[in-house]
Structure 1
Amino acid sequence: MLEEKLRQAIIDELTRQAADRPQALKIQGADNAQGSEELTVNGKVDLGALVMVIAGSVAGGP
């Protein structure tokens, strides 16, 4: 259960970042990432935002 929440939180945040900055970040495989172990990420990731989302997910945040 926790692993699924973390996986979804990471996918959602990376997808959000890619939508906000499509010229700087591209995500491939996000649609199938729940059933797969692979996700292709090309570009710059805001690591601080990603860490906050992961921490919130672990802490039981939204």
Structure 2
Amino acid sequence: MLEEKLKEAIIGELKRQAADRPQSLKVDGSDELIVHGKIDLDDLVMVIAGSVAGGP
């Protein structure tokens, strides 16, 4: 269960970042991701921490 929540949080955040900056980040896939570009690591870490802590 925790692994699934983490996976959903990571994929969701990477896809959100890609939607916000399509010229600098592209994300393809769902179970295996192909990522091209720059990732805002601070935002990704916050989403993962929130998922582990039981946040939205």
Q: TM-score range by the shorter chain?
A: over 0.9
| Structural RMSD (CA) | 0.5
Structure 2 gap ranges (5+):
none
Letter in 1 for 2:36: N
CA deviation string 1:10-59 (max 9, x = no partner): 00000000000000000011xxx2xx3x1000000000000000000000
* Matched residue count: 56
Q: Name 2:19's counterpart in structure 1.
A: 19
Task: Give the TM-score of the pair, scaled to structure 1.
Answer: 0.88
TM-score by length of 2: 0.97
The alpha carbon displacement at 1:8 in A equals: 0.2
2:52 matched residue in structure 1? 58
